[in-house]
Structure 1
Amino acid sequence: MTQVTSHQTNAPRTPVSMREKPRLSVGFILAKRFTLCAFANFVDVLRLAADEGDRSRPILCNWTVLSDTMDPIASSSGISVHPKERLGDPRAYNYIVVVGGLIEESEDFSPAYQSFLKEAAAAGVPLVGVCTGAFLLHRAGLLDGYRSCVSWFCHDAFKEQFDGLDPVTDQIFVVDRDRLTCAGGVSSAHLAAYLVDKHVGRAQANKSLHIMIIDDAQNAEKPQPGIPLELKTQNPLVQRALHIMQQNIDTPISIQEIAQRMGKSKRQLERYFRLSLETSPQVAFLNIRLDFARHLIERNQKSIAQIAVDCGFCDSSHLSRMFRRRYGCTPQALRRMPDTEEHVA
């Protein structure tokens, strides 16, 4: 197993021009089997913003991996990180960031970590959930009454574990007072850039992202990428609506509800769709469901009846009628085609 050390040098915190006290201090808690790329993206934004050039000195920002045992922490990729310090006073940090990992291991979260996070919350230290970190914060009772963001890929698992809660899955991150959550991956870089912008400066935030070959910082409302769509648009509001549709394929919601989630009226949303896609949101939603049904028919062996359920149709007859209208053949006929059989095989 590969191991890396959480690097927090004792290099002097004095740049050439002037003495600076760190403006942004972050303590990290890494769950067992945490997601390495989400952690690395977050840390590297801090590292690149913290110093002149690319010298990695923790001058304007500092970061520390905390632990209850000081044992190496294995990521889901098998690479381990050595913590820097034991859990102490959470008030030493501007933020405590919890980096989650594999969903099935989210229940195995150290009681010491939960106590530390509760102490941080009581002291008013903002808490950040990265990737499935939102699962861990919810499990500790620290996201009650807050909006939280998870990846669209984890949406169903979140609803199963936390009955009655519906997370935000159509944005890359969410800031709700002193709780911040993001979907993981590159979104963790954008959330880190948001914090750098707030505490250090926009120039440093943009510098970090550019060195990492990431486009300019994205707002929280930037839609998450999801299942590839044939519908293409540069309108961010329409993009968000399309991703909400994707995340509700099996249980379609009304266009009115989609518009309300986005703070728009149904008429406004319909106008945006006409201008951007030359179609209505109702037709777009139906086409998304039919495209997904075709994807399933071509690439797995589920029954047509099950695919109909998975794509939000009443039954296989309903799916067949809509499918023929769009593609000129029934799902059964498509599955019998030679190319489709090769996909299934």
Structure 2
Amino acid sequence: MHRIGYVLTEGFQLLALATQSVFEFANVMAGEPFYEVENYSLAGGMIRSSLGLAVSSRALDEQSQADTWIFTGVIDPLARPTPPGELAFARQASPRARRVAAICTGGFVLAEAGLLSGRRATTHWAYAREMQKRHPDVHVEDDRIYMIDGPIWTSAGMTAGLDLALAMVEKDLGADVARSVAHKLVMHQRRAGGQSQHSELLDLAPKSDRIQSALDYARKHLQRPLTVEELAESVHLSPRQFSRVFTAETGQSPAKAIEGLRLEAARLMIEQSTHPLDVVARETGFRDRRHLREAFLRSFGIPPQAVRREVRERP
């Protein structure tokens, strides 16, 4: 039995508890109760989330043990200092656990406890710079879904905790079980830790369904040249009207936005597959690998080969 202890702070983010479903369904998929999950807090008893919903918890003490400890975050870690008792427990529990993890801004607890010193870590993108400023000895990577550095696991904000939990299931029970859990939870894509926290479609944030439909069409047909005329036709607008509305709603020209979608898709393929760069370029709509390299250098400052090399070198 693998024991997982969630450490809850008053005002914890309720979404962190959603990750417990990953371990619940891992037990179902494995056909036996591999994981045992329990909530803990400093004083024990009922503890309230940021939404006001209270859950029961066991009190943390020197006898509290778990194979995996998961520290949950709060909405604003800068406004809510971590209780000293929680920091002391993190330091004490870390050497005895198989791994220690933090979801979202729970990474601040590990950083303040000194567990991230000299390690690579991530957190919610909105607080990554502040974490780096407050803890210069931590190598904060603000554009990662989750990070694994030895026994220390950290995740980006909110739903990234689900990806972190799935990665734990894959580590413990194998890729087949993790895929089955993701399918059961209707997670259309199990994101790799190196994947960017940012989504090109979310950044564009079109205001109308019509422009959103054009972007969805583009994402599904990235292998094609995707002219303004084709995109306009897909949503029944004239090319001139489409370009005007698209730029007004997204702040970018159609050509610039499509290149962003191509780059996002190419980066994912490079990180999550072993396809040659020629194939990656062809599948994501670049003329050839040279065109792909030029776009990567222009947008990311590094060539695609460096991205693949970085993925291979990650722990």
| TM-score, normalised with respect to structure 2 | 0.63
1:17-32 counterparts in 2 under 5 A?
22=1, 24-32=2-10
Aligned equivalents of 2:100, 2:122: Cα separation in 1: 13
Aligned equivalents of 1:273, 1:153: Cα separation in 2: 34
Q: Which has the higher helix share?
A: 2
1:128–1:180 Cα contact (<8 Å) kept: yes
Partner residue in 2 for 1:182 = 155
> In structure 2, what residue type is equivalent to 1:74?
R
Aligned equivalents of 1:107, 1:29: Cα separation in 2: 15
Aligned equivalents of 2:76, 2:289: Cα separation in 1: 37
Q: Does 1:48 align with 2:49?
A: no
Aligned equivalents of 1:65, 1:76: Cα separation in 2: 16
2:87–2:113 Cα contact (<8 Å) kept: yes
Aligned equivalents of 1:272, 1:80: Cα separation in 2: 54
Partner residue in 1 for 2:63 = 89
Aligned equivalents of 1:139, 1:155: Cα separation in 2: 14
Partner residue in 1 for 2:282 = none
Q: CA 1:272 to 1:93, structure 2 compared with 1: closer, same or farther past 3 Å?
A: farther
Partner residue in 2 for 1:309 = none
Q: CA 1:272 to 1:157, structure 2 compared with 1: closer, same or farther past 3 Å?
A: farther
1:27–1:95 Cα contact (<8 Å) kept: yes
Aligned equivalents of 1:182, 1:45: Cα separation in 2: 15
Displacement of 1:121 in angstroms is 1.9
How many pairs are equivalent? Answer: 227
Displacement of 1:207 in angstroms is 2.3
1:223–1:239 Cα contact (<8 Å) kept: no
Partner residue in 1 for 2:119 = 146
Partner residue in 2 for 1:232 = 261
Aligned equivalents of 2:10, 2:290: Cα separation in 1: 43
Greater shift, 202-211 or 144-153, is seen at 202-211
Partner residue in 1 for 2:218 = none
Q: CA 1:209 to 1:84, structure 2 compared with 1: closer, same or farther past 3 Å?
A: farther
Partner residue in 2 for 1:39 = 17
Find the residue that maps to 1:83 and give its secondary structure.
strand
1:174-323 counterparts in 2 under 5 A?
174-226=147-199, 228-229=203-204, 230=257, 231-233=260-262, 234-236=265-267, 274-275=291-292, 279=295, 281-282=297-298, 284=299
Q: Compute the RMSD of aligned alpha carbons.
A: 3.0
Displacement of 1:273 in angstroms is 7.7
1:47–1:58 Cα contact (<8 Å) kept: no
Q: CA 1:239 to 1:139, structure 2 compared with 1: closer, same or farther past 3 Å?
A: farther
Aligned equivalents of 2:290, 2:269: Cα separation in 1: 6
1:117-128 counterparts in 2 under 5 A?
117-128=90-101
- Tell me the alpha carbon deviations over residues 4-50 of structure 1, each in whole angstroms, 9 at most, x when there is no partner: xxxxxxxxxxxxxxxxxx2x32111012222211331x111001111
Q: CA 1:185 to 1:104, structure 2 compared with 1: closer, same or farther past 3 Å?
A: closer
Partner residue in 2 for 1:293 = none
1:132 to 105, 109, 114: 105
Return the index of the structure with the highest Cα Rg: 1
Partner residue in 1 for 2:52 = 78
2:111–2:138 Cα contact (<8 Å) kept: no
Q: CA 1:68 to 1:115, structure 2 compared with 1: closer, same or farther past 3 Å?
A: same
| TM-score, normalised with respect to structure 1 | 0.58
2:29–2:177 Cα contact (<8 Å) kept: no
2:11–2:48 Cα contact (<8 Å) kept: yes
Find the residue that maps to 2:110 and give its secondary structure.
helix
Displacement of 1:118 in angstroms is 1.0
Q: Percent identity?
A: 22
Q: Does 1:63 align with 2:37?
A: yes
Find the residue that maps to 2:7 and give its secondary structure.
strand
Displacement of 1:130 in angstroms is 0.7
> In structure 1, what residue type is equivalent to 2:267?
P
2:122–2:128 Cα contact (<8 Å) kept: no
1:129–1:180 Cα contact (<8 Å) kept: yes
- Tell me the alpha carbon deviations over residues 55-102 of structure 1, each in whole angstroms, 9 at most, x when there is no partner: xx9811111111221132222222222114543435x32111101112
Find the residue that maps to 1:51 and give its secondary structure.
helix
Aligned equivalents of 2:290, 2:131: Cα separation in 1: 30
Q: CA 1:58 to 1:189, structure 2 compared with 1: closer, same or farther past 3 Å?
A: farther
2:117–2:138 Cα contact (<8 Å) kept: no
Name structure 2 gaps, 5 residues minimum. Answer: 205-256, 272-287, 302-315
Displacement of 1:232 in angstroms is 0.8
Displacement of 1:210 in angstroms is 1.5
Aligned equivalents of 1:285, 1:143: Cα separation in 2: 26
